[in-house]
Amino acid sequence: MNVKEKRIVVTGAAGFIGSNLTDSLLEKGAEVVGIDNLFNGRLENLDEAFKHNKFEFHKGDIRDLNFLLNVFEGIDIVYHLAAFTSVPQSVIMPENCNDINVNGVLNVLNAARRMDVEKIIYASSSSVYGDTPTLPKREDMRRLPISPYGVAKLACEAYMQVYHQVYGLKTTSLRYFNVFGPRQKDSTFSGVIAIWLGNIIRNENLIIFGDGKISRDFTYIKDVIQANLLVTKHDVSGEIFNIGAGSPINLTKLAKIMLKITNREHLKIIYKDPRPGDIIHSYADISKANRLLKFEPEYNQENGLKEYFKWYDDKYGTNLI
């Protein structure tokens, strides 16, 4: 399926990943309908999208089924990215996490089924694996989430597969591994790279929760967008794929790379007690995505950081690199 001339919904369109995906779809000739409740999403992320005559935006909540039914009329593909996105916050507010992520997914699936949507692509997370010691993480391995966020994402994957098996909906889930890049928000509950970028801009020390040996498979946003587009070109209904760089890096090394790139090596790395819900080690086996989607990451962490920081300099007039 070519996305050109397709009518596509992106939920969470004003968010970090959603806005980048929206821009890419528009560049490829798709008609894009963005929806977002703007609780975390920011309209400024859609500045480029609003310049296109093939883009329209609706403010609304995925927990409102009637809203989704109206928006999904005549839609070919739904990219479902709207979510309660923070692991630490899910520990504080598990009910909210479940309501938005699980009940929201059910609404998206039911609306898509009733409005004959052709395909749904769901943004899942590596958090479904939890702290199982086996590395790298494979799609067929045991999943033991250790946060309400991870539990909700796992439940949503199951719903995606069940709606494919029972109702024939063409659903695919992508398990993202620590995505970073332009438009990622710097806040207490953001990804660590965005938080550290904010620290660097403010000339503040970088904080690591734990001993710094925690490792992650940080994945640049353009590789995640590549994977999302590839799903539309292959018949992979009912499947789940890891989407990552396939190369782990520990937090201490990552922090040192960021300080070196930005010439801020005078800043210190401060270690604090680990947080509940944080996974110790995680990186992706992406062989399935490579085999069935022809997915190949184009960025390693350092190259991705350099491009991210250059984008930030160009947009905000900072002097990171």
**Is 185 within a domain?**
no
Here the CATH number for the domain that contains residue 265 is 3.90.25.10
CB proximity list for 98: less than 8 A, separation 6 or greater:
148, 152
**Is 186 within a domain?**
no
pLDDT at residue 189, rounded to an integer: 58
The Cα–Cα gap between 275 and 84 comes to 19
pLDDT at residue 277, rounded to an integer: 73
**Is 233 within a domain?**
yes
Here the CATH number for the domain that contains residue 172 is 3.40.50.720
Regarding whether 29 and 46 lie in a shared domain, the answer is yes
Residue type at position 36 = D
Report whether pLDDT(100) > 80: yes
Regarding whether 110 and 254 lie in a shared domain, the answer is no
- The mean pLDDT value for 168-195 works out to 90
- The mean pLDDT value for 20-30 works out to 98
Beta strands in the chain (DSSP E): 7-11, 31-36, 55-59, 77-80, 119-125, 171-176, 179-180, 206-209, 215-216, 219-220, 240-243, 249-250, 269-272
What pTM value is reported for the model? Answer: 0.95
Domain containing 200 equals: 192-214+248-281+303-314
Quote the mean pLDDT of the chain: 95
Regarding whether 274 and 229 lie in a shared domain, the answer is no
Report whether pLDDT(90) > 70: yes
Regarding whether 79 and 50 lie in a shared domain, the answer is yes
Report whether pLDDT(190) > 80: no
Percentage of residues in the chain having pLDDT higher than 70: 99
- The mean pLDDT value for 240-267 works out to 96
Transcribe 65-106 into DSSP letters: HHHHHHHTTT-SEEEE------HHHHHH-HHHHHIIIIIHHH
Regarding whether 117 and 75 lie in a shared domain, the answer is yes
Q: Are 22 and 34 in contact (CB under 8 A)?
A: yes
Q: Are 213 and 296 in contact (CB under 8 A)?
A: no
- The mean pLDDT value for 91-120 works out to 98
Q: Which long-range contacts (CB under 8 A, 24 or more apart) does 68-72 make?
A: 68/107, 68/108, 68/111, 69/111, 69/114, 69/115, 71/9, 71/33, 71/35, 71/111, 72/9, 72/111, 72/112, 72/114, 72/115, 72/117
Within the chain, how many helices (H) and strands (E) appear?
11, 13
Domain count, the chain: 2
* Tens-place pLDDT, residues 155-165: 999 999 999 99
Regarding whether 307 and 229 lie in a shared domain, the answer is no
Where does the pLDDT of residue 188 fall: very low under 50, low under 70, confident under 90, or very high at 90 and above? Answer: low
Regarding whether 203 and 128 lie in a shared domain, the answer is no
**Is 19 within a domain?**
yes
Report whether pLDDT(273) > 70: yes
Regarding whether 68 and 201 lie in a shared domain, the answer is no
**Is 291 within a domain?**
yes
Regarding whether 242 and 103 lie in a shared domain, the answer is yes
Regarding whether 228 and 174 lie in a shared domain, the answer is yes
The Cα–Cα gap between 184 and 5 comes to 29
pLDDT at residue 204, rounded to an integer: 97
- The mean pLDDT value for 171-190 works out to 89
- The mean pLDDT value for 272-295 works out to 92
Report whether pLDDT(257) > 90: yes
Compare 22 and 281 and report the one with higher pLDDT. 22
Report whether pLDDT(281) > 90: no
Q: Are 14 and 42 in contact (CB under 8 A)?
A: yes
H or E segment to which residue 138 belongs: none
Report whether pLDDT(153) > 80: yes
* Tens-place pLDDT, residues 33-69: 999 999 999 999 999 999 999 999 999 999 999 999 9
- The mean pLDDT value for 60-79 works out to 98
